[in-house]
Amino acid sequence: MPISDPRIVVDRATLMDLKNKAKRLTLYAKFKPDGIFSGQNSSKFRGQGLSFEELRTYRTGDNIKDIDWKASMRANGRVTKVFTQETDRPALVLCDQRANMFFGSQRYMKSVVAAQLATLIAWLLHLQGDRVGGITMGANQTLVQYPSRTTSQILRYISDITTLNQALRDSPKEKAPAFVPLQETLTTYTPLLGSSGTLVLVIDGLALTNQELDQIKCLSIKHNVMVFLVTDLLEQDYQSASDLLISDGSKQIKLDNNAQDILRYQTASNEHFAKVRRSVHHSGLPFGLLNTVDEPYLQLSQLLREGG
C-alpha cells in the first residue's frame, strides 16, 4: 500500500486548500513587484508602464498632455488618449521535485515543503491578478503550464506538482533517475515571461551550481526573480547524523560515522551554502531559506513579513 503520510507526499486536495491560506499572505517590501514608479525610493523591480486603451472626446479635467492633436484635427475637436496602468505581469513559479528533494531528516520531506511553498506562491500571485504559470521539475520529466489568469491553470499546475511529487514515492529505487539541470529548464521556459515578468524559484539549496547562480543573476536583469531554497538540517550539520538510520520505505541502513568523511562533507556543505547565500544577497534578489521542520505556510508568512 502506497505511503500517504502528508509529511512524505502531497495530495491535490491539500494543495487546493492552500488557497485559503494564501489569502492571508501579502507580498511586503522587497518581495513585492510594484515597479520603480511606486514611490520616491528606487525599487529592485521594474515598473509595468501604461497601456493605450482608447481615444475619446476631451473632457474638462483631462490632462492636456494626453491630447492627440493629429486625431483632434481629423475629428475637428479635441480628442484625448486614455491609458490604463498595467496591473498584471506574466509569472512563472518553478517547483523542484527532482529525486534529490525526496529527503527529510526532520518533519517534512524537502519535496513536500517545495510543493506547498510553490502552490502558496502561485495562489498568491493569482489572487493579486497576475497571469500565473508553473514549471514542475520531476525526476524524469518536466511539466509546464503557461501563464494564465484562469483558476483552472492553477489547478493544472497543482495536478502537475502532485503527480511528480507522488512519483518520487512510487518510482523504482533500483535505478537512479536522470538528473535534470535547472540551467537547461530555465533556458527552455523563461521566454514564456516575455520582456519582463516574475520568476519564482523554489529549489534545492544543495543542488544549485555556480553556472545556475550566474544564469539566475542574468535573468534578474529582465525579470523580477525570487529565490527560495529548501534545505534540511542534516545537510548542513552532518555531525547530528550519529547512529542515524536511513530508509527508502522498504530497506534501511546505518550511516557511517567516519570522522574524516563527516569533516569533509561538513566543510564542503558549509562552503556551498555560504557561497549561494552570498551570491544571491549580492545580486539583491529577494531570497528565502526554508527548513523541513516548520510548516511551509508559517515559514513563508514569516519571510514575507521580514522581507527575506
- pLDDT given for residue 234 in this prediction: 82
Question: Which one, of 294, 304, 1, 16, lies nearest residue 154 by Cα?
Answer: 16
- pLDDT given for residue 241 in this prediction: 60
CATH homologous superfamily of 12-34+88-306 equals von Willebrand factor, type A domain (3.40.50.410)
Q: Is 157 exposed, middle or buried (0-12, 13-18, 19+ CB in 10 A)?
A: buried
Task: Give Cβ neighbours of residue 304 (< 8 Å, ≥ 6 apart).
Answer: 25, 26, 27, 28, 31
Domain boundaries of the chain, sorted by first residue: 12-34+88-306, 50-85
Question: Which one, of 72, 94, 176, 193, lies nearest residue 142 by Cα?
Answer: 94
Phi and psi of 108, rounded to 5°?
Answer: -115, 155
In the DSSP assignment, the letter for residue 195 is: T
Name the one residue in this structure whose C-alpha cell is 520603480: 36
Amino acid at 251: K
Q: Summarize pLDDT for 266-306 with one digit per residue, the tens.
A: 777 778 777 777 777 776 778 888 999 999 999 999 988 76
Count of beta carbons in the 10 Å neighbourhood of residue 275: 13
- pLDDT given for residue 182 in this prediction: 93
Q: Summarize pLDDT for 156-169 with one digit per residue, the tens.
A: 999 999 999 999 98
CA distance 8 to 103: 9
Name the one residue in this structure whose C-alpha cell is 538540517: 233
CB 185 within 8 A of CB 158: no
Q: Is the pLDDT higher at 86 or at 26?
A: 26
Q: Is the pLDDT of residue 32 over 60?
A: no
CB 130 within 8 A of CB 196: no
Percent above pLDDT 70 for the chain: 78
Q: DSSP for 82-137?
A: EEEE----EEEEEEE-SGGGS--SSSS-HHHHHHHHHHHHHHHHHHTT-EEEEEEE
Confidence category of residue 85, pLDDT binned at 50, 70, 90:
low
CB 20 within 8 A of CB 124: no
Average pLDDT, the chain: 82
- pLDDT given for residue 39 in this prediction: 37
CB 117 within 8 A of CB 296: yes
Percent above pLDDT 90 for the chain: 43
CB 165 within 8 A of CB 97: yes
Q: Is the pLDDT of residue 113 over 70?
A: yes
CA distance 27 to 25: 7
Q: Summarize pLDDT for 172-230 with one digit per residue, the tens.
A: 655 555 667 899 999 999 999 988 899 999 999 888 888 898 899 899 888 999 999 99
Name the one residue in this structure whose C-alpha cell is 499572505: 25
- pLDDT given for residue 35 in this prediction: 35
- pLDDT given for residue 41 in this prediction: 42
Mean pLDDT along residues 230-248: 72
Q: Summarize pLDDT for 120-156 with one digit per residue, the tens.
A: 999 999 998 899 999 999 988 999 999 999 999 999 9
CA distance 140 to 176: 10
CB 266 within 8 A of CB 239: yes
CA distance 30 to 287: 10
Q: Summarize pLDDT for 189-198 with one digit per residue, the tens.
A: 999 998 889 9
> What radius of gyration, in Å, describes the C-alpha atoms of the chain?
23
CA distance 42 to 115: 33
